[in-house]
Amino acid sequence: MSTGRLEPWFLTRSERGTPTSTSVEDAGIATWSEGNLVRPLIHGAAYFARLHAELSDLDPGDRVWFTDWRGDADERLLPDGPTAGALLADLARRGVEVRGLVWRSHGEKISGSISGRSNALLGREINEAGGEVLLDQRVPLFGSHHQKLFVVRRRGDPSRDVAFVGGIDLCHSRRDDADHEGDPQSLRLDERYGSRPPWHDAALELRGPVVTDLLDVFAERWNDPHPLDRRTPLRMVLQRLARMPRHPKPLPEAEPAPAPAGPHAVQLLRTYTAKRPPFPFAPGGERTIARAYAKAFARARHLIYIEDQYLWSLEVAAGIADAMVANPALHLIAVVPRHPSADGAVSGPPSRIGQIRAINRLRRAAPGRVHVFDLENRHGTPIYVHAKVCVVDDVWFTVGSDNFNRRSWATDSELTCAVLDATGVDGDAAPADDAPRRLARDLRRTLWAEHLGLDVDDPRLERPEDGPELWSRTARALEAWHEAGREGPRPAGQVRRHRTEPITRLQRLWADPAYRAIVDPDHRPRRLRAEHRF
């Protein structure tokens, strides 16, 4: 595929950069990478199995670099297999170079202990074995490092290098599969998800030149000269608990990039906040995730399909709404969790107000063309949708760490892959710009087959424009079965029509400020906020 055939969908160099952010050329990140092999991994169990296989096949001198939002040292990668911490620590002891960047404080509490302890314990296990894991708090107030990345490099054999990018953390609750019975090592969510919450998630396995680009993403953060955290007594305790080195070792010189491995072009999209002190590689922040979605939505003709943890904020909804107004044939199918992860009297209203406004904005713009669903397993227990997937017209798709909310597009550190297959659905090697592509179609069909209870080769899954009626019909059948007291065989599929629980006028008075300041903050530069741009 020629460069010119990528530009209609991918951000060009000029589109990526703005006067408030460093240029991509200065940052060292390629505009896009061709010749890659991309494999979607649906469900945490599939991802953990692949990660375990790659990590178990390493030799001294090989490298493992990773980033994460939350890591639990005792999370098992296989039902009867090793824990994540034990496996990475064993690699470090055997001479594999293990380095990690994890967010210092994701806010969890274990038995009333200090915030962020799970990441500190994961770091401690690896650091004591000779690895190097840093607790990274170079974020603004109420922001986080949310990137989820693993890169595995084999010494002297770049053809075997592999990377994993997506929304799946190395932690509890993520190891679920298509049956959605939940991870035996579970985190506590809203009580309606049960004691072992069902979990839906996704990631990508990548081979080819893009692996080197992902190493550059890791290196930029590692080489940031600013302090990892402010020196306070509590944070010094956490660093000591993690056995963090005071002076991280310099990264080794880059090795040759892997040779082309497949027909897939990948563009790395990121969010970095505009903060003080600034990121050296993005002094005005970076918001290429938001810009890429805006470009893709403007090109959408038939269907935007989204799986997302939130679908919040008017700023995010505006780009989709504008595209739907411009194109009366365009539909949206969105899959979200039935309830927020924490939906109590205090936590619930700030978590729901942004979604209520976003969905209402979309429905006003495109009446009858906005279809929002949630999922449940065969027992009727809601499935927590943690996946971050977007497929546009079976042409362009993304999988990564970002959610459809203002926080992910302007505040938190995020990493997402946009993918364009050079192969058409009929095997042609040079499809037209807007022609469906094989990998995007196959990803959508795989997800729809599970959610709708169909075989992946069912002809009803062939055309994305047939999706709204197919999804609605499946949801109506399951809704009728519930209303009839669950009598008779359960209809196929997991799909229910989503209804966000409303909030009262009184709740709005305090939920809105909490939502804007804490739940979904906006750290865009003031000029961009005023111009309603990213």
Domain boundaries, the chain: 37-262, 266-499
pTM: 0.95
266-499 — its CATH code? Answer: 3.30.870.10
d(CA 409, CA 273): 9
CA distances from 449 to 379, 443, 459, 481, 495 (A): 19, 10, 11, 20, 11
- Binning the chain into helix, strand and coil, the percentages to the nearest 5 are 35, 20, 45
37-262: which CATH topology? Endonuclease; Chain A (3.30.870)
User: Helix 314-326 vs helix 348-365: angle between axes, to the nearest 10 degrees?
Assistant: 10
Whether the bond into 277 is cis, omega within 30 of 0: yes
Burial class for 315, CB neighbours closer than 10 Å (0-12, 13-18, 19+)? buried
> Mapping DSSP to helix (H, G, I), strand (E, B) and coil, where does residue 427 land?
coil
DSSP 481: H
Q: What is the DSSP string of 201-235?
A: -EEEEEESTHHHHHHHHHHHHHT--S-SS---HHH
- Domain 37-262 and domain 266-499, same fold? Reply is yes
Kindly tell me the sign of the dihedral angle through the C-alpha atoms of 197, 387, 58, 65: negative
Task: Please give the pLDDT value at position 112.
Answer: 33
Q: Within 13 Å and on the Cβ side, how many CA atoms surround 312?
A: 24
Please answer whether residues 438 and 425 qualify as being in contact, where contact means their C-beta atoms are separated by less than 8 angstroms: yes
- Give the pLDDT of the chain (534 residues) as one tens digit per residue: 445 688 999 999 888 875 344 433 334 577 899 999 999 999 999 999 999 999 999 999 999 999 999 999 999 999 998 999 999 999 999 999 999 999 987 454 433 333 358 898 999 999 999 999 999 989 988 899 999 999 999 998 999 999 999 999 999 999 999 999 999 999 999 999 999 999 999 999 999 999 999 999 999 999 999 988 766 666 666 667 767 776 688 999 888 899 999 999 999 999 999 999 999 999 999 999 999 999 999 999 999 999 999 999 999 999 999 999 999 999 999 999 999 999 999 999 999 999 999 999 999 999 999 999 999 999 999 999 999 999 999 999 999 999 999 999 999 999 999 999 999 998 888 788 899 999 999 999 999 999 999 999 999 999 999 999 999 999 999 999 999 999 999 999 999 999 999 999 999 999 999 999 999 999 999 999 998 899
Task: Please give the pLDDT value at position 5.
Answer: 80
